[in-house]
Structure 1
């Protein structure tokens, strides 16, 4: 375990820092009403990556984004962490910020594991779940054997990765400027600077992904009976595209769709929605309309309970 050596991020461009168990954690809140929508970013992303959908959800309910410890504008912590630890942290933060429950948890990728663990530990606090292109501890059961083998072979050793070159930074900045074009300028610039300085964070967070996190979820109970929507990104996974032959990648995406269907079917009020596009890393930006519609639908379902 280690703490990322990243520059001091200072005051967040939105939101404020709350004291939780001796750490300062960033939370930004807007809107009113319930249930409160809470966004849990995937690995390598932070709360502000969800600003567009968070602001749109705030038009019809309380809407919250945050940075878990070790990421974004929250205090550092040793990474990686357990799912229960992260789930308890966000619950304590929501209480410290007086965000009213119950919560509609929107978990993306790694954040979906944390959202599921929160729901298992505190079902009384959960009004619903929206999982954005989530992973699952049994993913290899749905993948072609060759995909699993190539994935293992392609995993980088974090300590051996060199710093980004000037050319790589320039190229990445141009891509991020396009992704975050709708963001307010001050937020956009701060977010891009953070992403370029802290690109190793996602790797640190997922260092125990296929071991401890998977094992923790396997040992845990299933999801409570709450409304659930699983959104499956329809675009090609850019990481898979680098390492998998076309036919193997097609089979892997078919397996992912089947896995998400099984996740939705695991609860009585579960639903899978297939998206025409959207990449795994930025589905909340590229398919924002579908994300906001799913949030709206779950809020309405919660209101009828």
Structure 2
């Protein structure tokens, strides 16, 4: 299904992962749409040093050099948080947002917990012997989670299970300060969807996602059984959602 006059779509992967292969089926599912895959400095295949605090400025400059904006941003987890920061800093470059269980950058307490936990994991991962145990645990969890996924999504999950924990810890540095400086009232209202994992009502992350959706005037959706890796366990629904925002 081609969408006439569609804006470009910018893909932002979660964590410190590379965008290549991170969103199975999305590029192929958007024929005729320019799809931009981006690894921010300090993550994925990027050879540049960078910080989360500087992510929006770097991404804004990148899009201006490409003469690509405004774009529909599709971001999962930390990539979703970067998409929110870009929309706040450069609303003229963002046509819409699809946030896939984004890191709750609008909640400083949750962000402090995430940054602290990731920092501890980063320290533990370099302890001789312990890093191998942690890696084995992540891979075992991925193998269990991949059993019911379609083949391309299972392969993506297994690939991301080879987690570089120290790189992830560095990628999250500054998340708390970034969150404290973000005010929901500063966010632009634009065609957006916030996809939240299937959590219980009242869960702190769900509440943060609800507030984020309200601030963006976005639709909040949650599909039964959706996990943090919603792009892998509900790829067809994600593709339909991206097409919806692109068409809008």
The TM-score bracket by the shorter chain reads 0.7 to 0.9
* Preserved CA contact (<8 Å) 1:232 1:274: yes
Q: 1:257 to 1:51 in 2, by over 3 A?
A: closer
Q: 1:168 to 1:140 in 2, by over 3 A?
A: closer
Q: Contact 1:34 / 1:101 at 8 angstroms: preserved in 2? A: no
Distance 1:91 1:258 in 2: 29
User: 1: distance between equivalents of 2:115 and 2:67?
Assistant: 40
- Distance apart, 1:82 and its partner CA: 3.6
Q: How many residues align?
A: 239
The reply on whether 1:233 has 2:197 as its aligned counterpart is yes
Give, in whole Å, the separation in 1 of the partners of 2:185 and 2:7. 24
Q: Which residue of 1 aligns with 2:30?
A: 58
Question: How far apart are the structure 1 equivalents of 2:81 and 2:138?
Answer: 31
- Match of 1:55, SS state, is coil
Asked if residue 286 in structure 1 is aligned to residue 225 in structure 2, the reply is no
Shift of 1:173: 7.5
Q: Structure 1 stretch 150-159 or stretch 225-234: which is displaced more?
A: 150-159
Give the match's secondary structure for 1:56. Answer: coil
Return 5+ residue gaps in structure 1 as ranges: 1-30, 236-249
Question: What is the aligned partner in structure 2 of residue 67 from structure 1?
Answer: 39
Distance of 2:93 and 2:115 partners within structure 1:
37
Cα distance change, pair 88–197 in 1 and its aligned pair in 2 (3 A)? same
CA distance in 2, matches of 1:267, 1:168: 37
Q: How far off its partner does 1:168 sit?
A: 4.5
Instruction: Quote how far apart the aligned CAs of 1:230 are.
Output: 0.4
The 5-angstrom pairing of residues 1-305 of structure 1 reads: 34-77=6-49, 81-83=51-53, 85-96=54-65, 98=66, 100-139=68-107, 156=120, 158-161=122-125, 162=127, 164-165=131-132, 168-169=135-136, 172=139, 175=142, 178=146, 181-182=151-152, 192=159, 196=162, 198-210=164-176, 212-218=177-183, 222-234=186-198, 250=200, 254-268=203-217, 270-280=218-228, 282-301=229-248
* Other structure's SS at 1:54 match: coil
Shift of 1:36: 0.8
Shift, 1:137, TM fit: 4.2
Change (3 A) 1:120 1:181: same
1:87–1:117 contact (8 Å) kept in structure 2: yes
Q: 1:169 to 1:258 in 2, by over 3 A?
A: closer
Shift of 1:134: 1.8
In terms of mean alpha carbon deviation, does 102-111 or 45-54 score higher?
Answer: 45-54
| SS of corresponding position for 1:196 | coil
Give the Å deviation of 1:68.
1.1
Question: Closer, same or farther in 2 for the Cα pair 1:180/1:289, shift >3 Å?
Answer: closer
**Greater Cα offset, 64-73 or 40-49:** 40-49
CA–CA separation in structure 1 for the residues paired with 2:46 and 2:118:
31
| CA distance, structure 1, for counterparts of residue 64 and residue 73 of structure 2 | 15
1:200 aligns to what SS in structure 2? helix
